[in-house]
Amino acid sequence: MKTRDNIRNIAIIAHVDHGKTTLVNELLKQSDTLDQHTEIGDRAMDTNDIEKERGITILSKNTAVKYGDKQINILDTPGHADFGGEVERIMRMVDGVLLVVDAFEGTMPQTRFVLKKALEQHLTPIVVINKVDREGARPAEVVDEVLDLFIELGADEDQLEFPVLYASAMNGTSSYSDDLASQEHTMKPVFDTIIKTIPAPIDNSDEPLQFQVAMLDYDDFLGRIGVGRVFRGKIKVGDNVTVMKLDGSTQNFRVTKLMGFLGLNKVDIDEAEAGDLIAVSGMEDINVGETVVDPSKKEPLPVLRIDEPTLQMTFGSNTSPFVGKDGDFVTARQLLERLQRELHTDVSLRVEDTGEPGSWTVSGRGELHLSILVETLRREGYELQVSRPKVILREFDGEMCEPFESVQIDTPEEYSGSIIDTLSQRKGTMENMENTGNGQQRLTFLVPSRGLIGYPTEFLSITRGYGIMNHSFSKYLPVIKKWNPGRKNGALVSINAGKTTTYAIMGIESRGTIFVDPGTEVYEGMIVGKNSRDNDISVNITKGKKLTNVRASGSDDMAKIKEPDHLTLEESLEFLNDDELCEVTPHFVRLRKKTLNTKQREKEAKVARHN
């Protein structure tokens, strides 16, 4: 069978923070791709600010490196389960995977998750044990762990014969041996192993066209861009082709632009053939999974599965008294247009009308997926308010079911008891417990997704920051009835508008934890703290000390109060109850009651108690 020996298509997969993006960086630097004047940062493939700040990959990225007379097309995939739909689609575009595993941490939940997807597609694997220079690294043991995982996931005989490389991507070194002394400042072993091990794509360029879209991009001038692989035939600029739509219909269009990938850039090309990874524009409403074919031979490829959302929130235009004070985009129309624009590229997102003016149900793959969308909007100058996240229930065989997640926790032994206790209260079931050495334990649980909403903050507090928690969607199981895992504590709610005072905070802070500094502008119905008990308390946090001719107004400045607890966006979303909203603007994250008026809220609470 004829192949295109000058090309290799490979995806890099790993658990979060095991170093795959850093490895791609080194492959770029040490290839024959970039000229000497090109400078690339530490994480060149992570292009948006949130990816760089959090050190995670959110969207798959394409790059291509030249190595001698070969071109290696590399796809850097997300490691977090919230972006698992991306991983699955990428696997259909490549012929092999580079599995990166941390030499200290070993196999983790997302290692299993991404490897399972690769083995299901019968891809050829290469294993890179990364961070071999890390203190406590145990490369030989980790290779055994990886082999056990391959066997457990049902790898075939060929896949079990995977080559193993050892690297420190941060230092740009690699070798064929787990001996640290053998590390050399070169990625040649990685390049050579890719060329030798990963199959070259089949060359069937003389057959009718089949190109499948695996990812979407968007350009204000070009519109929607389909990114994918040519599986058969050739495609040229100016060609008239047919899109086989997901609903079974067809649509004809003319190819206006073709782009290939080289280094960090898209480059214009006139023609692509079987095995090439390219971007195509000219299609108004192309979607992921659709096949572009020769009009004379309309044969679609199998449809790509897109993971269904498991969590939803209500997004609405800001209705607080401070609306318009901070953002550039504050109207419902502007927010809807922006959410619709997000749908151009994020295929796991759903936006539906709630029936209430200025408010939409936005569904995604998890808390991280949705919180990153909220963070992106605020950075772009939008004002909005969002509700508490809720899981999406589904019906199977006449029974309502809810999503459950597989949770893996690595923690010092002394915190294990508290973790087991708190997760059992959240209806979690412990499935495994093992000692991993050095006083560390690894705990595995199956927990309902709604039981995990708000848990990361509690977990950090329990383990004092020493615990590591990872979770990924496992399955749908029957809904646990008569259980509401909401917040245990009530809120401290402001009864009036104005600026907070040190004097007022001093009088309130014994009742709980304060969220605001003295001098902060607040409004009636705004949440200013967490009550130490389970009920809400209305508080006057703007009250000033009555002045006398004995005390000067400046004497308040000498008073000491505790440091307020400034909640991050994620912590704010976790804090929310069903009757509360999070107001998000470019520079502020505020918590508020849905009903701002104190008397009205008390009336509603009375009615709710009687019902």
Instruction: DSSP letter for 114, please.
Output: H
- Give the CA-trace dihedral at 334, 336, 341, 344, to 10 degrees: -170
- The DSSP code for 38 is -
Q: What is the CA 4 to chain-centroid distance, rounded?
A: 35
| Residue 22, marked binder | yes
Beta strands in 263-387 (DSSP E): 265-269, 271-273, 277-281, 291-293, 311-317, 350-353, 359-364, 384-387
Bridge partners, 412 (sequence order): 440
Task: Tell me the C-alpha distance between 244 and 142, whole Å.
Answer: 45
Under 8 Å between Cβ of 575 and 512: no
For residue 509, the number of C-alpha atoms closer than 13 Å in the C-beta half-sphere is 18
Closest CA to 54 of 368, 349, 382: 368
Q: Is 237 helix (H, G, I), strand (E, B) or coil?
A: coil
Residue 130: in which H helix or E strand, if any?
strand 124-130
Alpha-carbon gap, residue 307 to 436, rounded angstroms: 33
Closest to 28 measured CA to CA, from 244, 261, 292, 299: 261
> Residue 420: which of 462, 457, 390, 389 has the closest Cα?
462
State yes or no: 131 annotated in a binding site.
yes
Task: Compute the distance between CA of residue 485 and CA of residue 500 in angstroms, rounded to an integer.
Answer: 32
Do the annotations mark residue 19 as ligand-binding? yes
Paired tokens of 173 = 């070194």
Residue 132 labeled ligand binder:
yes
Burial of residue 396, with CB atoms counted within 10 A of its CB: 0-12 exposed, 13-18 middle, 19 or more buried: exposed
**Measured CA distances, 367 to 305, 355, 425 (Å):** 21, 24, 20
Q: Is 243 annotated as a binding residue?
A: no
Measured CA to CA, the distance from residue 11 to residue 97 in angstroms comes to 5
Parallel, antiparallel or unpaired: strands 124-130 and 164-168 = parallel
Q: For residue 159, give the nearest of 102, 72, 97 by alpha carbon.
A: 97
Residue 587 assigned ligand-binding role: no
Phi/psi of residue 412, each to 5°?
Answer: -60, 145
- Cβ–Cβ contacts within 10 Å for residue 121, how many? 15
265 belongs to an annotated ligand binding site: no
Q: How far is CA 381 from the centre of its chain?
A: 21
d(CA 365, CA 82): 5
Q: How many other C-beta atoms can be found within 10 angstroms of the C-beta atom of residue 65?
A: 25
Count Cα neighbours of 238 within 13 Å in the Cβ-side half-sphere: 3
Find out whether 283 and 224 touch, Cβ atoms under 8 Å: yes
* Calpha distance 93→100 (Å, rounded): 19
Q: Is residue 242 part of an annotated ligand binding site?
A: no
Q: Is 219 labeled as ligand-binding?
A: no
- Residues forming the annotated binding site for GTP? 17-22, 130-133
- Residues forming the annotated binding site? 17-22, 130-133
